[in-house]
Amino acid sequence: MSSLDTQTRGRTSRGRLRALDAYLCHAERELLSRRDGPWARAVFVDVGFGEHPWTTLESAEAFRALQPELTVVGVELDAERALAARAHADAKTHFRQGGFELPLGDDEPVRLLRAMNLLRQGPPERVPEVHRTLGRYLLPSGLLVEGSADPTGAILTAHLLRRAPEADAPLVREALLFHTDFSHGFAPLLFRDWLPRDLRRRVRPGEPVHAFFAEWGAAWEAARVSGHTAPPDAFHEAASRLAARTGDVEADAWLLARGYLVWRPREGISP
Ligand SMILES: C[S@@+](CC[C@H](N)C(=O)[O-])C[C@H]1O[C@@H](n2cnc3c(N)ncnc32)[C@H](O)[C@@H]1O
């Protein structure tokens, strides 16, 4: 265990990260399916799968629809959870005990790394180092997804961090993903308590994430005033207005119709 690793509870639930799987299959199709050069061996790693490996197995199924040969590695700090998960292992699905210094072989470059609901406790100051540590395992242009979701996955946010193409370049804080299934209605501030660890206390004046929520809130109010009152409709209309006004929000129809908003400021998500 390194100094960055800390024991946490293992709560998870079936389907909690399904919406994230669907987003990745839509938006990262090439990342998940490419097989040129080292990508032929490149794995998906789910860090901290919890007391049951359900989300890892669900992602394996979703991603293999795009790339049937995909190797999936679930990593868990808790030795008993890692051992119990081995009952679900097969030739392409592995469960290993380990922490942020990932237990991977030299022949296992990483295309996609997911670390969901691991950093909710602990100081926000350790987050950049966790990102840096995990990012070292990614192939150039590989993706780290780190964030939080509520217990059922109805509300989810995640950093999308990309390894730059140049060797040894730092991770780029490319975008912030928001998703809701509308079961709790919708207002932009619904996401505040489920922001990634390093942003949760940053929704305050002077911070870019605060300015973003203010703009989103104003677009949402304007959408409702103009008759878009049902939560999915208000979400769609507000995001479309925001995309048209700022250019920092993706206007992809598939995303907006399904409760996904991707905030991709030109300057990246500030650390
Ligand atoms: C709350 S569960 C999250 C499970 C699943 N990822 C989800 O989103 O539902 C967090 C799990 O991450 C594990 N964990 C915490 N820090 C870790 C680390 N540094 N490396 C690997 N696993 C870690 C904990 O042992 C725990 O089982």
Unique residue bearing structure tokens 């969901």: 116
For a ligand 1 pocket test, name from 13, 76, 81, 100 the mutation site with the most ligand atoms within 8 angstroms of its C-beta: 76
pLDDT of residue 1: 66
122 lines ligand 1 (CB under 6 A): no
Tell me the CA–centroid distance for residue 76 and ligand 1, in Å.
Answer: 6
pLDDT of residue 95: 98
pLDDT of residue 179: 98
Tell me the CA–centroid distance for residue 63 and ligand 1, in Å.
Answer: 21
pLDDT of residue 33: 97
48 lines ligand 1 (CB under 6 A): yes
pLDDT of residue 121: 80
Three state DSSP letters for 64-118: HCCCCCCCEEEEECCHHHHHHHHHHCECCEEEEECCCCCCCCCCCCEEEEEEECC
d(CA 57, CA 127): 26
pLDDT of residue 4: 80
Sequence-ordered list of residues with C-beta below 8 angstroms from that of 225, at least 6 positions apart, any chain: none
Closest-lying ligand 1 atom to the alpha carbon of residue 75:
21
57 lines ligand 1 (CB under 6 A): no
9 lines ligand 1 (CB under 6 A): yes
Closest-lying ligand 1 atom to the alpha carbon of residue 2:
19
User: What residue spans define the domains of the chain?
Assistant: 18-179, 203-263
Cβ–Cβ under 8 Å, residues 141 and 31: yes
252 lines ligand 1 (CB under 6 A): no
d(CA 167, CA 179): 32
- Per-residue pLDDT 10s for the chain (271 aa) are 677 877 778 899 999 999 999 999 999 999 999 999 999 999 999 999 999 999 999 999 999 999 999 999 999 999 999 999 999 999 999 999 999 999 999 999 999 999 999 998 888 889 999 999 999 999 999 999 999 999 999 999 999 999 988 767 779 999 999 999 999 999 999 999 999 999 998 999 999 999 999 999 999 999 999 999 999 999 999 999 999 999 999 999 999 999 999 999 999 998 8
Q: Architecture of 18-179 per CATH? A: 3-Layer(aba) Sandwich (3.40)
What is the reported pTM?
Answer: 0.97
d(CA 114, CA 92): 17
150 lines ligand 1 (CB under 6 A): no
pLDDT of residue 167: 66
The DSSP symbol for 220 reads H
CA distances from 243 to 128, 181, 252 (A): 28, 20, 10
For a ligand 1 pocket test, name from 1, 118, 156 the mutation site with the most ligand atoms within 8 angstroms of its C-beta: 118
Tell me the CA–centroid distance for residue 60 and ligand 1, in Å.
Answer: 17
Residue whose CA lies nearest to ligand 1 atom number 5: 49
Over residues 23-54, the pLDDT tens digits come to 999 999 999 999 999 999 999 999 999 999 99
Residue whose CA lies nearest to ligand 1 atom number 20: 99
